[in-house]
Structure 1
């Protein structure tokens, strides 16, 4: 089938997260890059924002000799200041980072042109709209300049834009260089995320919501407008899951042409002895931090649980997770000690010195530290939603409590001052993860978990959970992934189901758990990019064919 599809000779792919690790889109692009490099060697050009001017970006390897004549031409004739190099990831694709700040002075003209051609409303813009739009415009200009200098009309070229932040550039190219086929991917509709984040019921009333009306009500008009108009005007509109496609249909009035499921690569998952060694190191660190913080003497038989991701209290299910832990702590059937880590970056965390001292000096004090729920101090601890919920539920982290909860409010980059291990290195040490999201277009965290052989609990309101439920012969946690039904109104049932699943997992034998870990890894195997890349090939084909039709109409 793939052989019958039109394939691009060159691909431009742009996102705010190119060489800029801030969210799940980074994982989408960086893990897929090697697969694209295999099929389109050095014919894929990632375009990202140059946010590291004057500083070293560890994700970017600058190479002055790459396309040096064009770089000089772009600076001289197109007012484009770019740096060219390679992304420091497996596959090392070519990257063009652009300084977009010079385009701010043209902002009004750019927005006027966008309104005249596509009726994009930028009048109500605020926050990061201007910054994203100027980058998006610059990225479009980069593709235009590069195309005119290095390519010709016989070349099949695709421009793939991710999220509303890159929509403006895709629309610019529609009129500036109509020969380039455009693809737009929304990873989460801006208005859908806003509805969910504002505590409004998204799913029960999805069919009744009017996206334009909700955008006005939630002060999201400009972001919604650029997203909607880009979806309607590009040559191929895509999203990342069936559940998000329902949002697109109802809120953007446009169903996706293709659903681009988010795959994964297991290149960096340790194998064999390396895996065992790293897992043991991670468990020792998790145990050490818990004992020093709590003044306990927990042993390796402790069950380590984790949730992680962005600090979206309701959307990521942090509230229902804490609720389930409280229920579990009061369940008389629980016999095993459980430490639940919540690794969610928040504010500007500072490693707490009392904990650092205990770890450094190997202090074996049995006295619990002050505020035994957190590893790093926060400026706004009195106003933190997680800590406040823990307090409201009456959780204490007493030594006699079977369930202890610890909030890690920092990026685990290997230099946090307490664990000093990366997120993936620490992930290896957990026994079980829980991601009970209410709003999650795909859900990389549970996919990453099973890829590292850690069974997980998630919900059918995540793209990943829905995929597992429909595509796999899935029977619950014994097969590596427990997919809990979640709706707008069953919060108590979700909390109870999480509790029951953890409880049943806690009494399983080591042989049963080893079997579950293997089943979890098998789920991840089916989500590798070698399986999911075919959806991208289909999107390229649709975009290229629609571009042909569009050009014929213009003759």
Structure 2
């Protein structure tokens, strides 16, 4: 079948597709981005024969939904049937690009007695024991029960003319597969694991995770890390589904050893590149958003000392806080090497490295807010002086006979002179700029803070590498940045994501789509995909750090060397690289990568 026909809206016209994930309308991690970004192309192909199922657990989800009153279509009828049985079921359009239909099932609408029966049957029929006091597992079990009831209703309505394909993501969404298989329900089941339960724990705690993979005993390791229930569910689901898939060759190997089943297909993750496209030349956007970052930097650093913003480069890393898995440790090591090299050379370049990762905190540091507030007062004072001087200068220049520039100080009232001087004096300090913008709940044991101390990356005036640790999401409502995350990305110069464990890795891909070069690693699914399919990746703005067969120190020095080479590029070379990066990202548009999904859906229908 041609690529054109695969993307046509009549793809598999005699089939319904139901996609189930805990992160439908519920942003927890990367699967939310997979689901949401894939929606437009799914709607283009499937239209009214596609539906998403997720949990109704997000407290503010109603703002993202447009309830559907009509229940004429098959999904609405199935949802109505469950409501009649007393369950809390929401049928709506999700207000994202593509506006897919979603069924949100409230796991808390399953009463305690029913939940206990469900858990007993999980143990009796599938050998899965569940703790009594784990709120998340209780919600997952209830959600799986409601999803299975929905699929039962769907099968009653679908008739013999239409086949039903069900695509489940992760153990939190995949529990219905067990009873579908046990009862012999004629539904084709596809299960995608994005990262195994044990893999993430083992990668953090086992120094030789990848070389030791063939020797781990999954039951023993599950007990060791206290994830027996989750790992057992995942194992049983992987064994029971019709088609077992994952997102990269790296996780396929992980699945083979930890879940004891080879995957049937690799389903790489894409992006909706249209979301990143701009109506005018993206270089202008980079300059515009960089100016906003300049404002933050002035407020954060210039009360202590200043540096040339025209010779400042902004690097950033972001994502879930997993110090080792996300490569934060390697990044800090590389920054330490880079700082020493730039200081030795007496470089006039300054690097500001942002660590953006959600952590528990009490509040934004009062001194951080105070500095930004006083700087804003300085700005307003300067604007007032500028307005006063401009008005008086214009009058003076038109009324006097000589053509010499008058003394501008004479045009400023004493009030503004005093206010200017006092505001500047109240702002300046001898303290070092803070490493972290917020008061962390456990700052003493925070791994980023501890490593910054160990590496003496403390924002000294003579440091060429400065660090800003921002333990919260960046959004337009953020009082420090006042910009969306993707705007922040566009304003930076380089994204740094040298992960140790990363089943796929959206962050470098998002950077590319924003026209920002990025670093990934050969231990991320995205980096591995690049090495296998795009040998010219480096000239197009993406660098892959070697980690799989290298020591930590070797990889850190390689990363530091790449950062140094990046700093040596001319402005023209950086503009060309940004152009190449944005163009390169088009290869990862869902309209291209959806072909992998379509292949497995075709097999499911044919079988």
Instruction: Please tell me whether residue 304 in structure 1 is matched to residue 321 in structure 2.
Output: no
The alpha carbon displacement at 1:42 in A equals 2.1
Of 450, 453, 466, the match for 2:512: 450
The alpha carbon displacement at 1:216 in A equals 2.4
Of 11, 28, 52, the match for 2:17: 11
Q: Trace 1:182-331 onto structure 2 (pairs within 5 A).
A: 182-273=189-280, 275-295=282-302, 296-331=306-341
Mean Cα deviation higher: 209-218 or 403-412: 209-218
- Which residue number corresponds to residue 587 of structure 2? 526
Instruction: Please tell me whether residue 494 in structure 1 is matched to residue 555 in structure 2.
Output: yes
Alpha carbons 1:307, 1:342 under 8 Å: kept: yes
- Which residue number corresponds to residue 381 of structure 2? none
Instruction: Please tell me whether residue 130 in structure 1 is matched to residue 138 in structure 2.
Output: yes
- Which residue number corresponds to residue 56 of structure 2? 50
Mean Cα deviation higher: 416-425 or 295-304: 295-304
Distance 1:285 1:160 in 2: 42
Distance 2:132 2:217 in 1: 18
**Deviations along 1:244-263, whole A, 9 cap, x unmatched?**
00000011000111111101
Distance 1:275 1:522 in 2: 11
**Deviations along 1:157-207, whole A, 9 cap, x unmatched?**
111110111121222333457122111100001111110122442101112
Distance 1:360 1:230 in 2: 54
Distance 2:370 2:222 in 1: 50
SS state at 2:355 partner: strand
Instruction: Please tell me whether residue 539 in structure 1 is matched to residue 600 in structure 2.
Output: yes
CA distance 1:403–1:100, change in 2 (3 Å): same
- Which residue number corresponds to residue 351 of structure 1? 364
Q: Trace 1:450-469 onto structure 2 (pairs within 5 A).
A: 450-469=512-531
Of 354, 360, 363, the match for 2:373: 360
Alpha carbons 1:201, 1:488 under 8 Å: kept: no
**Deviations along 1:59-118, whole A, 9 cap, x unmatched?**
3222333456554432223x3321111112110100111111132522332233233333
- Which residue number corresponds to residue 503 of structure 2? 441
SS state at 2:263 partner: coil
SS state at 2:223 partner: helix
Of 532, 541, 546, the match for 1:470: 532
Q: Kindly indicate which of the two structures has a greater share of residues assigned to helix.
A: 2
The alpha carbon displacement at 1:290 in A equals 1.9
- The count of corresponding residues between Structure 1 and Structure 2 is 542
SS state at 1:12 partner: strand
- Which residue number corresponds to residue 175 of structure 2? 168
Distance 1:453 1:357 in 2: 34
Instruction: Please tell me whether residue 115 in structure 1 is matched to residue 120 in structure 2.
Output: no
Distance 1:177 1:152 in 2: 16
CA distance 1:258–1:292, change in 2 (3 Å): same
SS state at 1:440 partner: coil
Alpha carbons 1:457, 1:483 under 8 Å: kept: yes
- Which residue number corresponds to residue 405 of structure 2? none
Mean Cα deviation higher: 364-373 or 87-96: 364-373
Mean Cα deviation higher: 137-146 or 94-103: 137-146
Q: Normalization by structure 1: what TM-score?
A: 0.92
Of 91, 99, 110, the match for 1:103: 110
Distance 1:156 1:113 in 2: 28
Distance 2:67 2:373 in 1: 38
- Which residue number corresponds to residue 141 of structure 1? 149
The alpha carbon displacement at 1:281 in A equals 3.2
Alpha carbons 1:74, 1:80 under 8 Å: kept: yes
Unaligned runs of 5+ in 2: 379-423
CA distance 1:436–1:52, change in 2 (3 Å): closer
Distance 2:215 2:232 in 1: 19
Instruction: Please tell me whether residue 423 in structure 1 is matched to residue 485 in structure 2.
Output: yes
SS state at 1:203 partner: helix
**Deviations along 1:391-450, whole A, 9 cap, x unmatched?**
121122012211101001101232222112111111100111110100000000011111
Distance 2:78 2:150 in 1: 10
Of 427, 438, 441, the match for 1:379: 441
Q: Trace 1:397-412 onto structure 2 (pairs within 5 A).
A: 397-412=459-474
Instruction: Please tell me whether residue 517 in structure 1 is matched to residue 578 in structure 2.
Output: yes
User: Aligned-residue CA RMSD in angstroms?
Assistant: 2.3
Distance 2:77 2:279 in 1: 47
